[in-house]
């Protein structure tokens, strides 16, 4: 997954919001419903929708939930958020 972000950066493209990354790499390809994600991440559907839309940022708690659900590292999610924040600050 980190390779995907590296490719974007090398291409000069802004990093995606972690919610967009989640939707593109996990929800869509695995055809997961928001209900399934909600139940397995112990989050409301509304919270998941806000995250996917980019309205909510990744904090430590969400990073752990995402890493458990996606079998990735919490650092991936924290780093995606940090890269997005940095790109948005320019």
Burial of 52 (0-12, 13-18, 19+ CB in 10 A): buried
Closest CA to 27 of 50, 13, 48: 48
**How much is the pTM?**
0.85
Q: What is the pLDDT of residue 23?
A: 95
CATH T-level assignment (fold) for domain 2-89: 434 Repressor (Amino-terminal Domain) (1.10.260)
Q: What is the pLDDT of residue 55?
A: 97
Domain boundaries, the chain: 2-89
pLDDT, tens digit only, all 90 positions of the chain: 556 666 766 777 788 999 999 999 999 889 999 999 999 999 999 999 999 999 999 999 999 999 999 999 999 999 999 999 998 997
């Amino acid at each position: 997954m980190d390779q995907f972000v590296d490719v974007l950066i090398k291409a000069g493209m802004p990093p995606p919001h972690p919610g967009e990354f989640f939707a593109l790499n996990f929800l869509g390809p695995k055809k997961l419903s928001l209900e399934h994600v909600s139940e397995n991440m112990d989050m409301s559907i509304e919270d998941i929708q806000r995250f996917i839309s980019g309205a909510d940022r990744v904090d430590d708690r969400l990073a752990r939930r995402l890493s458990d659900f996606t079998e990735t590292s919490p650092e991936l999610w924290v780093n995606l958020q940090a890269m997005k924040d940095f790109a948005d600050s320019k």
